[in-house]
Amino acid sequence: MKTFKTISLCLILSSVVLSSCKNSGEAQKKDDAPKAEVSEVQVPEHYSLPAELQYAESETYQVEDKTYPLYLFDKIYPIGWSKDGKLAYMEEPADEAVGAYFFQFHIYDLNTGKDVFTWKPEEDPMDGSLAQMFEDNKPLFESKLKENSIVPQQFKLEETDAKMDKTMAESSFLGCDVVKAVKITRGGEIIYNNENNEEYNGNLSQDIAGVLKCPYNDISAIMVKTVQRGYEGPPHVYSFYFVKDGK
């Protein structure tokens, strides 16, 4: 009887060990499975209308019993990334009481800090919409997006450990403090350094809104939100620019 129990126990243990080895082998196969290479990313035949990316909060102010917006916004609609660090987006610049619709299309190279392609209407229409502008110019936009290998993405602003140091100084022209110099650092490394000594410098504020990460490499776009003084005071205008972080 003892011999039978011993044999049974050995068979059970052997079964457990074999099952464990099989599961381990399957897990190893999954870990060793080839990951999607960047070269496998496909540029689409057609592109969809992108969503707006919120980068700043709206505020209001009151005059007597009336409420007014404190800020207008240059709106951004990111489209996608290329493998070599180009960011494509559409922009609706704010209308400062002009009564027109403003639109711009950008393919921005983070490596050079310049647009490789930009487009806006020859004349700003009195009314319009992003959807209509995108549809009317879709053949041109899609050809440029494909030419630069832009792949659509779902965008969100993420946190970054980059820090901004600002130098403020009083503007004799405006009679208020404005941003005269900006330096962005991360881990002791200077990523961006800029001074603005223009006589009319209406830059009331600059802050890091977050970062947009390219999924194909270590390049990130630090998004800086700026507040530009309104032509005659409030509402002021929130705008943005990008700074490259990573290689």
pLDDT tens per residue, range 147-168: 999 999 999 999 999 999 999 9
What pLDDT is attached to residue 173? 83
Compute the C-alpha angle 114/94/49, nearest 5°. Answer: 70
How many Å apart are CA 144 and CA 220, to the nearest integer? Answer: 22
Q: What is the average per-residue pLDDT within 54-67? A: 90
DSSP codes, 3-68: HHHHHHHHHHHHHHHHHHHHHHHHHHHHHHSPPPPGGGPPPPSS-PPPPPB--S---EEEETTEEE
Query: What pTM was estimated for this model as a whole?
Result: 0.81
240 phi/psi in degrees, rounded to 5? -155, 160
Pick from 234, 239, 237, 238: which is nearest to 67 by CA? Answer: 234
Q: What is the average per-residue pLDDT within 39-61? A: 89
Beta bridge partners of 164: 184
- pLDDT tens digits, 216-247: 999 999 999 999 999 888 999 999 999 999 86
User: Taking 50 as the threshold, does the pLDDT of residue 27 lie above it?
Assistant: no
How many Å apart are CA 88 and CA 117, to the nearest integer? Answer: 9
The pLDDT > 90 percentage for the chain reads 68
What pLDDT is attached to residue 233? 83
Q: Which residue has the higher pLDDT, 115 or 11?
A: 115
Reported confidence tier of residue 115, pLDDT bands at 50, 70, 90: very high
Q: What is the average per-residue pLDDT within 19-48? A: 56
45 phi/psi in degrees, rounded to 5? -75, -40
CB 228 within 8 A of CB 204: yes
Average pLDDT, the chain: 85
What pLDDT is attached to residue 219? 92
User: Taking 80 as the threshold, does the pLDDT of residue 3 lie above it?
Assistant: no
What pLDDT is attached to residue 184? 97
How many Å apart are CA 33 and CA 247, to the nearest integer? Answer: 27
- pLDDT tens digits, 174-223: 888 999 999 999 988 999 999 998 878 899 999 999 999 999 999 999 99
Q: Which residue has the higher pLDDT, 215 or 14?
A: 215
Instruction: Output DSSP code: residue 233.
Output: B
